[in-house]
Amino acid sequence: MNQLEQLKQYTTVVADTGDFQSIKAYAPQDATTNPSLILKAVQKPEYLPLLQKAVAESNGGSTEEIVDRLLIAFGVEILKFVPGRVSTEIDAALSFDTEATVAKGRELIALYEAAGVPRERVLIKIASTWEGIRAAEILEKDGIHCNLTLLFSLCQAVACAEAGVQLISPFVGRIYDWYKKSSGTDYQGADDPGVQSVKRIYQYYRAYGYKTEVMGASFRNTSQILELAGCDLLTISPDLLQKLADSDAPVERKLSQESDAPVEKIAVDEKSFRFMLNEDAMGTEKLAEGIRAFVADSKKLKKMIEEMR
């Protein structure tokens, strides 16, 4: 078996793309999208008709309503190629507004259900701010499952688990980027700070029996992926899926369901969450940077829509 096939024995593989053909080629269980991936996709001729259709069927609706229709159109198409779930992201501009995030999550699920997609097949992606985590807690109680993204610190992961969130997406590659830039060190294998962060979260969840799924995300190379073999899920870009498919080197399980590592319990309320995140320079900077980047790409997408109307 190639490395991708071997990896699927230990971990649920998720495609991190809005490209249907890539999803079809690598047969993942789930797929994830975000504003940057959707923006990239609609700039390709083969996906432009989805955008044009969303605009045409808007009946004079707002740009935000057209964006929502486009997100659901991509999600519905993606679900034709994966047996599991698709993650659809809420506008990052709402990252510090709990009520607006809850309302948008309910709107997106209603649109999916109107399109014949049951809510069990959708994960609503929300930034892992304190406000976003509180919104996810409310949505989960409604039976709307969430994927908490832009997650860089253990305090974010603990708060998500205690809120009963379905799934978190710790960003391996962006953590690696920050430490590489700050130290000048090109970390490899198990020494990679991004890999170590996900392992620490995984072990913490196992130690205290949390049910929240851990999905490593934002990979820069296959070494990071292989160091996390055994993690609940890994969401992987098409280029790295191809590299795994092209290699026949052995894949060893690195994470297991059992954890005997001593892990100190962390108490997280709003004050301690904000303090711990503030003490983590990497987590603070990458969370803010990630929100800004997603907002910028959302604005570009909205501009494309407005120019088509």
For the record, the structure tokens of 145 come out as 């499952």
Give the number of other CB atoms < 10 A from CB of residue 120.
11
125 is a catalytic site residue = yes
* Rounded-to-integer distance, Cα 88 and Cα 165, Å: 15
Task: Identify the helix (H) or strand (E) that includes residue 90.
Answer: none
- The CA-based angle 171-64-288, given to 5 degrees, is 30
Query: Is residue 102 within 8 Å of 126, Cβ to Cβ?
Result: no
* Whole-Å CA distances, 220 to 174, 176, 214, 256, 267: 8, 8, 18, 23, 32
User: Residues 8, 125, 199, 286: which is the catalytic one?
Assistant: 125
- For 244, residues 6+ apart whose C-beta sits below 8 A from its C-beta are 2, 3, 4, 7, 222, 225, 236
Give the number of other CB atoms < 10 A from CB of residue 183.
10
Which residues are identified as catalytic? 125
